[in-house]
Amino acid sequence: MANHVESLRKPLVHGNKNLKTVTDDVVGIMDKKPTGLWWIGFIIAASALTLGIVAVSYQIMTGIGTWGLNKTVGWAFDITNFVFWVGIGHAGTLISAILFLFRQKWRTSINRSAEAMTIFAVICAGLFPIIHMGRPWMAYWMLPYPNTRGPLWVNFRSPLAWDVFAISTYLIISAVFWYIGMIPDLATVRDRAKTKVKKWIFGFLSFGWSGSFKTWHRYETVYGLLAGLAAPLVVSVHTIVSFDFATSAIPGWHTTTFPPYFVAGAVFSGFAMVLTLLIIARKAMRLEEYITVKHIENMTKVIIVTGGIVTLSYATEFFMAWYSGNGYEQFVFLNRAMGPFAWAYWIMVGCNLLTPQFFWFKKIRTNMIMVFILSIFINIGMWFERFVIIVTSLHRDFLPSAWAMYKPSYVEIATLIGSFGLFFTLFMLFIRYLPIISIGEVKSVLQFKGRHGGEK
Amino acid sequence: MKKYFVVSFDNEYDLVNATQEFKNSGFTLLDAFTPYAVHGLDKAMGLKPSRLSKICFMFAFIGLTIGLYGQYWISAVNWPINIGGKPWNSLPGFMPIAFETTVLFAGLGTVFTLLWRTGVLPGRKPKIYAPDVTDDRFVIVLTKDLRSFNSEKAEEISTIHHAVEWQEKLESE
């Protein structure tokens, strides 16, 4: 127990930093030449993005008949990707808003990059329903605006219309929260900039921030308010995404456990993605003293908890299928575990139930390579969770004559790879050109070990 | 032309203590400049809690009203369409979007009010009284216009609280 108390008192960043060195370290990254690892990551990501652009252009020109969908399985890869990416975004808001409200000071080193990840993930997510429309140039029809077709408004009783509002609100609020948090750091970059161009760019981006405490005072209030708004927002977003399924009358989808199940799954997969990204970023950008093993460990603990909730949800679904006495429900769940898509189901169970259990061991939690590999397994598992939910419920219809199988076409696979390309390209550019660590917030927790620890 | 007395510190504790003492000794504080939001400085400077939370509530209320009434007006008044026999005014079904508009209005409204009120806007040039306030310096700026400004006392307080440097400044603009 004594050991435990001592570990709580460890400084949040390592290497005896003072205010000046924090600025130097974080802003210094932006001046230095990128590491080889950064270039490798960037080139792979940009190639994947190029592939995605080609695939999306092709399917928009040809039509979504290029996909493997049929009359029975009308949703598959595309909506799987959509739900997967929305879920990824949730960890960022959880770290930046909910941990802020709980006064978890360790979040300061990782919140900036986690928020950036949220924005990039939501951008990836938003693309899929738009591509799915087949005629993406009509996407603005989803918004309620006075028009000459009646006016024929959108149907506000439809969960798909709720999605439009939820996702766009989420994107806007996350972007604003991220940018507002970054203004003081952009001013730090401005004040250290040596070239005229850089001075001008960051002078513009930092909105004339002067460090005035009267501004700080109001800024802190607003930051708290935004955190308070973002916390219920993030829960609402995946709740609404789950309504896309739960409000339908399809066995396997029509269940009241979906909202909490989806939100926990989103946080679970999001934290896995944060781990994947930050383990790359801390290495590529030499930030091991800021994003410490302690940070990684804390996140793996969140994964244990949310992984547990996800496991409970899987069990609950099966229990309710049996307990309901509804033949269709029972069939769907037996078919999930033993039908033609059983392989996908068991990948999902293997990755999502077993992987988090490794994190009970400190040796594994503190081994970065192991954490990296396990986080990728969770990413895979959570992608398959959405695939299983969507495809297994659809491919065995109420009428056996309508039963069908689904096989993704190469266009769909290329689009998925492309979305990863977009996500990682944006993230790689972000860690190169913007302050990846919240300089101001890290400075405020440096004093954590200050006066009270006897050291100034 | 305005005159200022600018004192710099290298840590937040000295800054807060000095601010307290300047305030108690009757100096007029213009502002403080810090690299991060120093806790306790608002009390030392005698700043009132921000009213932005009320603004936030107001915008949230506007957002909720627009969200609810907008959906009602569109679905039940302007062009009612029978969808699955549901009532024109499907209030429970309107709640998710009403919630989203509430959050959207509250968030954007509060942030724009903050930016407008504090003058942190695109294209603005910062007013810098001392260097390095966005790096590692904590600065207090006192207005020196009043005849009663006691320079010796100000320097004394600065010395006691380990100020790194202090100087008089004229407003340049």
Domain boundaries of chain B, sorted by first residue = 3-49+128-170, 52-118
pLDDT of residue A452 exceeding 70: no
Q: What DSSP state is assigned to residue A401? A: G
CA of B150 vs chain A CAs: smallest distance (Å): 24
SS3 content of chain B, % helix, strand, coil (to 5): 50, 15, 40
Categorize the per-residue pLDDT at A10 as very low, low, confident or very high, splitting at 50, 70 and 90.
Answer: low
Determine contact, residues B106/B58, Cβ cutoff 8 Å: no
In whole angstroms, give the CA distance from residue A45 to residue A212: 40
Q: What is the pLDDT of residue B1?
A: 67
Q: Which residues of B touch A440 (CB under 8 A)?
A: 35-37
Q: Side chain identity at A233, as an amino acid letter?
A: L
Q: Which residues of B touch A240 (CB under 8 A)?
A: 96
Question: Using CB atoms, which residue from A180, A216, A450 is nearest to B34?
Answer: A216
Question: Using CB atoms, which residue from A151, A159, A441 is nearest to B36?
Answer: A441
φ, ψ of residue B172 in degrees (nearest 5)? -80, -30
Task: Specify the higher pLDDT residue, A263 or B166.
Answer: A263
pLDDT of residue B141 exceeding 50: yes
Neighbours of B141 (CB within 10 A): 21
As a CATH number, domain B3-49+128-170 is 3.30.70
Convert the pLDDT of each residue in A176-198 to its tens digit.
Answer: 999 999 999 999 888 888 888 88
Contact call for B106 and A225, based on CB within 8 A: yes
Q: Which residues of B touch A157 (CB under 8 A)?
A: 75, 83-84, 86, 90, 93-94
Candidates B97, B113, B132: best to mutate against A (most CBs of A within 10 A) is B97
* Residue closest to A302 by CA, chosen among A337, A349, A268: A268
State which residue of chain A sits closest to B73, comparing Cα positions.
A153
State which residue of chain B sits closest to A152, comparing Cα positions.
B79
CA of B147 vs chain A CAs: smallest distance (Å): 25
State which residue of chain B sits closest to A201, comparing Cα positions.
B123
Name the pairing type of β-strands B3-9 and B138-143: antiparallel
Secondary structure element (H or E) that encloses residue B58, with its range: helix B52-72
pLDDT of residue A338 exceeding 50: yes
Q: Which residues of B touch A172 (CB under 8 A)?
A: 104, 107-108
Name the pairing type of β-strands B138-143 and B29-33: antiparallel
Categorize the per-residue pLDDT at B172 as very low, low, confident or very high, splitting at 50, 70 and 90.
Answer: low
In whole angstroms, give the CA distance from residue B24 to residue B8: 19
Q: Side chain identity at B122, as an amino acid letter?
A: P
Determine contact, residues A244/A159, Cβ cutoff 8 Å: yes
Could you give the percent of chain A with pLDDT greater than 70? 95
Mean per-residue pLDDT, B40-45:
83
Convert the pLDDT of each residue in A370-393 to its tens digit.
Answer: 999 999 999 999 999 999 999 999
Mean per-residue pLDDT, A201-209:
89
Of A251-255, A297-301, B99-103, B139-143, the range with the highest mean pLDDT is B99-103
CA of B155 vs chain A CAs: smallest distance (Å): 22
Q: In terms of C-beta density within 10 A (0-12 exposed, 13-18 middle, 19 or more buried), how is residue A172 classed?
A: middle
Q: Which residues of A touch B45 (CB under 8 A)?
A: 213
Residue with tokens 């700080």: A216
Token digits of residue A289: 């003293």
pLDDT of residue A111 exceeding 90: no
Q: What is the pLDDT of residue A166?
A: 93
pLDDT of residue A446 exceeding 80: no
In whole angstroms, give the CA distance from residue A59 to residue A80: 17
pLDDT of residue B169 exceeding 80: no
Q: Which residues of B touch A219 (CB under 8 A)?
A: 37, 114, 118
Contact call for B74 and A156, based on CB within 8 A: yes
* Residue closest to A238 by CA, chosen among A202, A264, A199, A204: A264
State which residue of chain B sits closest to A223, comparing Cα positions.
B111
Determine contact, residues A284/A37, Cβ cutoff 8 Å: yes
Neighbours of B74 (CB within 10 A): 20
pLDDT of residue A214 exceeding 90: no
In whole angstroms, give the CA distance from residue A374 to residue A364: 10
Contact call for A156 and B111, based on CB within 8 A: no
pLDDT of residue A145 exceeding 80: yes
Q: What is the pLDDT of residue A222?
A: 92
Q: What is the pLDDT of residue B20?
A: 84
| Average pLDDT value over all residues in chain A | 88
Residues with Cβ within 8 Å of A13's Cβ and at least 6 positions away in sequence, in order, are A22, A109, A289, A290, A292, A442, A445, A446
Residues with Cβ within 8 Å of A159's Cβ and at least 6 positions away in sequence, in order, are A240, A243, A244, A247, B96
Mean per-residue pLDDT, A277-290:
85
Radius of gyration of chain B from Cα atoms?
A: 25
Secondary structure element (H or E) that encloses residue B4, with its range: strand B3-9
Categorize the per-residue pLDDT at A265 as very low, low, confident or very high, splitting at 50, 70 and 90.
Answer: very high
pLDDT of residue A5 exceeding 60: no
Neighbours of A413 (CB within 10 A): 14
Note the ipTM here.
Answer: 0.90
Q: For the CA atoms of A388, A390, A394, A396, what is the dihedral angle to 10 degrees?
A: 10
Q: Which residue(s) pair with B141 in the sheet?
A: B6, B31
Q: Side chain identity at B157, as an amino acid letter?
A: I
Question: Using CB atoms, which residue from B79, B97, B124 is nearest to A153?
Answer: B79
Mean per-residue pLDDT, B69-85:
90
Mean per-residue pLDDT, B121-125:
83
List B residues 122-161 in contact with A (Cβ-Cβ < 8 A).
122-128, 131-136
Determine contact, residues A289/A13, Cβ cutoff 8 Å: yes
In whole angstroms, give the CA distance from residue B52 to residue A213: 16
Q: Which residues of A touch B86 (CB under 8 A)?
A: 157
Q: In terms of C-beta density within 10 A (0-12 exposed, 13-18 middle, 19 or more buried), how is residue A6 classed?
A: exposed
Q: What DSSP state is assigned to residue A15? A: S
Residues with Cβ within 8 Å of B98's Cβ and at least 6 positions away in sequence, in order, are B64, B67, B68, B71
Determine contact, residues A437/A114, Cβ cutoff 8 Å: no
Categorize the per-residue pLDDT at A454 as very low, low, confident or very high, splitting at 50, 70 and 90.
Answer: very low
Token digits of residue A401: 């004559």
Q: What is the pLDDT of residue A2?
A: 42
In whole angstroms, give the CA distance from residue A83 to residue A128: 9
Residue with tokens 């504080």: B29
Name the pairing type of β-strands B138-143 and B165-170: unpaired
Residues with Cβ within 8 Å of B51's Cβ and at least 6 positions away in sequence, in order, are none
CA of B45 vs chain A CAs: smallest distance (Å): 9
Question: Using CB atoms, which residue from B56, B83, B121 is nearest to A207?
Answer: B121
pLDDT of residue A450 exceeding 80: no
pTM of the entire predicted model: 0.90
